[in-house]
Amino acid sequence: MHTVLTRGNATVAYTLSVLACLTFSCFLSTVFLDYRTDANINTVRVLVKNVPDYGASREKHDLGFVTFDLQTNLTGVFNWNVKQLFLYLTAEYQTPANQLNQVVLWDKIILRGENAVLDFKNMNTKYYFWDDGNGLKDNRNVSLYLSWNIIPNAGLLPSVQATGKHLFKFPTDYATSSI
Ligand SMILES: *[C@@H]1O[C@H](CO)[C@@H](O)[C@H](O)[C@H]1NC(C)=O
Ligand SMILES: *[C@@H]1O[C@H](CO)[C@@H](O)[C@H](O)[C@H]1NC(C)=O
């Protein structure tokens, strides 16, 4: 015996499971796509200074100043399941103190429908490039690379790193001018 109420419930439950199924297949249809893309990164100006940190100790640490060019075409990353991209530029380097240092220098959100062909020239970083010691001066091997997190409509999608790194080195001397 079906009352109106139980019928209503069954309809709602059915609708929900159809929706869940659809969402899941949407997710499946995009989870295995290759989201990698080429990025062209270049440094324009590279300086390092030795300045007191904000901490209580006022110890002097290395602070890098980098301006960069960035070209990439992320149009192909936007399939229908991509709501937005969170792009970030990371600097990676080694120091005697740490095998691996990673510092995020810049980021940007690109919404679906916005221009995804990027061509930036001589950009300043958004975040400070601090080292926790004196690991930047005369560092011969710093790499810059672009990554993004995909914010999807459904499901979880991986964080992706663009192919194409840029290697650069810091000068052997501290810059003294006040910027
Ligand atoms: C960007 O990539 C898309 C396809 O992935 C292509 O149609 C478009 O022409 C490219 N734009 C530029 C400026 O290279
Ligand atoms: C530069 O550093 C990267 C890791 O950040 C490492 O894989 C690479 O071997 C280094 N290259 C040189 C020449 O030291």
Percent of the chain exceeding pLDDT 70 equals 79
3-state secondary structure (DSSP) of residue 11: helix
Residue 175 half-sphere exposure toward CB, CA atoms < 13 A: 15
Residue with the smallest CA separation from ligand 1 atom 6 is 75
Q: Express each pLDDT in 57-77 by its tens digit.
A: 778 999 999 999 999 999 988
Lowest mean per-residue pLDDT among 4-13, 37-46, 63-72, 94-103 = 4-13
Cβ(92)–Cβ(101) below 8 Å? yes
Q: Is 87 left (phi over 0), alpha (psi -120 to 50) or beta?
A: beta
Mean of pLDDT values over 102-130: 96
Report pTM: 0.80
The pLDDT-based confidence of 85 (bands split at 50, 70, 90) is very high
| Second CATH level (architecture) for the domain 34-168 | Sandwich (2.60)
In this predicted structure, what is the pLDDT of residue 169?
97
Domain residue limits, the chain: 1-30, 34-168
Residue 5: its pLDDT value, please? 63
40 CA distance to ligand 1 middle (Å): 15
Which residue ranges have their beta carbon within 6 Å of ligand 2? 92, 94, 141, 143
Q: Is the pLDDT of residue 54 over 70?
A: yes
